[in-house]
């Protein structure tokens, strides 16, 4: 009996030892799995240290003396990184990444910003935008005592079309909306972005807020920014590869060309007393517009003076390249003077154009090009016909004011 008791003790001891070994093996396997996930994250093509900018420094104490945010190249690169973060927020969601393995945070944390709000499409639950705010506590860790001059307190960033997973249907739906109507106001994303931008602008002041987007997101950013500008709220805007093609625009161009051709034809016909009367009416009309322009000139052009979005386009990108089209010939501009930009010397937008010769579409339309080291940008000096048309309502005299003044 005593011998059997000893054997039972030995068996129990071996079982306990085996259990301990099993726990050790399980912990080792978990550790290896975590290391593998970490290695996978480090090797992921969208990891910040793999595809992010090489020569863009993170904020440090030197920014207190000479802020990097005053450098237009630095500002463009960082804002482009913020937009990339929104793309990755949605990819992280689709791939069920954890806080430890998520790819998106590095794209804003590096520059001392934090995620305060995600904009979600109620139709499919996808993330299409985010609000990033200056993270003072993180900045203090690197002895950045105050927010560098030029750095926005809050940035609303909007992604473009993501041809992957459940969000593709809604993305394409909004793409087609713009293609058909050249407007995105009917989308739930427009409403969500407008509310978010208005909220942060009221909280921090419009001069401390920025809106940015890429591709379809740039289309939303332009129209949301324009909507707030009409309310007298002017925020900094940076639009990368904004869409420039639509059926509505093509039909409008055809109509304008037909109208111009008809005016040229009428000018070649013999004159009569009736056309002369029409001509007199037109002269009176133009005189009235000129008189009203002198009265309301400053007010009418206020939006244009204070809201000048920055557009970044690539000549090889057929989605956005039409922004580089000039306003037209001198004769066309004279014939449609009321539809063009103001003559006070102000520009409707800052248009930056990149020309690298012939490029593949995915490269020319990609976001990564805007933080690359070999970027060669030129500020377009010609007036863009498309920009003038899209922002025309910001400096046109409202019809109600004209009617009221005439009465």
SS3 assignment, position 131: strand
Check whether 15 has a pLDDT greater than 90.
no
Check whether 297 has a pLDDT greater than 50.
no
- Quick check: is 220 in a domain? yes
- Quick check: is 227 in a domain? yes
Check whether 54 has a pLDDT greater than 90.
no
Average pLDDT over residues 341-345: 45
Instruction: For the chain, give the mean pLDDT.
Output: 76
Confidence (pLDDT) at 369: 92
Confidence (pLDDT) at 55: 86
Lowest mean pLDDT of 78-92, 204-218, 255-269, 355-369, name the range: 255-269
- DSSP, res 271: P
Percentage of the chain beyond pLDDT 90 is 40
Percentage of the chain beyond pLDDT 70 is 65
User: What would the two tokens of residue 393 be?
Assistant: 């309502």
Rounded Cα distance between 388 and 342, Å, is 9
Confidence (pLDDT) at 384: 72
Rounded Cα distance between 384 and 361, Å, is 22
Length of the chain: 407
User: What would the two tokens of residue 303 be?
Assistant: 């939006």
26: Cβ contacts below 8 Å, ≥ 6 apart: none
Average pLDDT over residues 385-392: 76
Q: Are 328 and 383 in contact (CB under 8 A)?
A: no
- Quick check: is 116 in a domain? yes
Distances (CA, A) of 331 to 257, 328, 343, 356: 12, 8, 16, 32
Considering the entire predicted model, what is its pTM?
0.73
Total domains present in the chain: 1
Confidence (pLDDT) at 189: 94
72: Cβ contacts below 8 Å, ≥ 6 apart: none
- Quick check: is 32 in a domain? no
- Quick check: is 294 in a domain? no
Lowest mean pLDDT of 6-10, 54-58, 169-173, name the range: 6-10
Hey, which residues does 130 pair with through a beta bridge? 118, 157
Q: What CATH number is attached to the domain comprising 209?
A: 3.40.50
Picking from 128, 135, 129, the residue whose alpha carbon sits closest to that of residue 157 is 129
Q: Which residue range forms the structural domain that includes residue 136? A: 57-247+307-323+347-395
- Quick check: is 351 in a domain? yes
| H helix or E strand, kind and range, residue 369 | none
- Quick check: is 120 in a domain? yes
Check whether 46 has a pLDDT greater than 70.
yes
Distances (CA, A) of 296 to 231, 263, 293, 407: 17, 29, 5, 16
Confidence (pLDDT) at 19: 53
- Quick check: is 140 in a domain? yes
Question: Does 74 or 355 have the greater pLDDT score?
Answer: 74
């Amino acid at each position: 009996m005593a011998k059997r008791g000893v054997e039972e003790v030995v068996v129990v001891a071996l079982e306990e030892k085996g259990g301990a070994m099993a726990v050790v093996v399980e912990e080792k396997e978990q550790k290896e799995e975590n290391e593998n996930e970490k290695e996978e994250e480090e090797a992921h093509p969208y990891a910040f240290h793999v595809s992010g900018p090489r020569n863009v420094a993170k904020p440090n104490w030197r920014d207190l003396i000479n802020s990097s945010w005053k450098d237009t190249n630095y500002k463009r690169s960082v804002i482009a990184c913020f937009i990339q973060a929104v793309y990755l927020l949605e990819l992280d969601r689709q791939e069920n990444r954890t806080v430890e393995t998520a790819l998106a945070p590095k794209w804003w944390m590096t520059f001392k910003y934090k995620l305060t709000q995600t904009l979600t499409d109620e139709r499919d639950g996808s993330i299409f935008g985010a609000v990033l705010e200056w993270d003072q506590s993180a900045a203090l860790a690197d002895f950045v005592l105050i927010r560098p001059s030029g750095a926005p307190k809050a940035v609303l960033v909007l992604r473009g079309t993501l041809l992957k997973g459940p969000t593709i249907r809604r993305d394409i739906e909004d793409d087609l909306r713009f293609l058909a109507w050249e407007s995105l106001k009917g989308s739930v994303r427009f409403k969500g972005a407008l509310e978010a931008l208005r909220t942060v602008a009221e909280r921090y002041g419009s001069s401390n807020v920025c809106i940015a987007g890429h591709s379809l997101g740039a289309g939303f950013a332009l129209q949301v920014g324009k909507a707030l500008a009409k309310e007298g709220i002017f925020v900094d805007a940076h639009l990368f590869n904004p869409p420039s093609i639509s059926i509505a625009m093509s039909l409008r161009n055809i109509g304008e060309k037909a109208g111009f051709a008809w005016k040229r034809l009428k000018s070649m016909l013999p004159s009569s007393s009736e056309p002369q009367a029409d001509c007199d009416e037109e002269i009176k009309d133009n005189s009235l517009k000129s008189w009203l322009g002198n009265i309301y000139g400053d007010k009418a052009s206020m939006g244009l003076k204070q809201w000048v979005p920055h557009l970044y386009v690539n000549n090889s990108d057929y989605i956005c390249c039409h922004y580089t089209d000039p306003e037209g010939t001198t004769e066309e501009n004279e014939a449609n003077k009321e539809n063009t930009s103001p003559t006070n010397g102000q520009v409707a937008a800052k248009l930056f154009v990149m020309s690298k010769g012939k490029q593949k579409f995915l490269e020319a339309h990609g976001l990564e090009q805007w933080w690359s080291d070999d970027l060669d940008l030129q500020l377009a000096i010609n007036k863009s016909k498309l920009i003038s048309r899209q922002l025309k309502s910001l400096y046109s005299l409202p019809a109600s004011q004209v009617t009221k003044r005439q009465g």
